[in-house]
Amino acid sequence: MSIKENGIQDIDITMEKYETIRKALTGLYEIFDINFFEKSIYRKTGMDNLKAINENVLKILKSSYSPREVRMKLRAIEFDEQEIMETFPL
């Protein structure tokens, strides 16, 4: 594991971990989508919570690294995951 001198993980490793979190959130989204009716309160609250988790993880990333670095890495992830983005736009 690569660690910078000041003890912060390298952004590449951190973004790999974010990709894993994002895939897990996408899986949960699919479970909610399959198992609950579109107007179900459980589906709606579940989706809201998944989006809130993603937004908070992004805020943590932006506070740990420069927002520009995070944006550049996110663009690369989004480019690689265009199919997932169409299904679950986090």
Are the C-beta atoms of 24 and 57 separated by less than 8 Å? no
User: What is the per-residue pLDDT for 58?
Assistant: 84
Q: Characterize 20-38 residue by residue with b for buried, 16 or more Cβ atoms within 10 angstroms of its Cβ, and e for exposed.
A: eebeebbebbeebeeebee
Q: Each residue of 33-85: pLDDT tens digit?
A: 899 898 999 999 999 999 999 888 888 888 888 878 888 887 877 766 665 55
Taking the C-alpha atoms of residue 30 and residue 66, their distance in angstroms, rounded to an integer, is 32
- 3-state helix, strand, coil split of the chain in percent (to 5) is 75, 0, 20
The length of the chain, given as a count of residues = 90
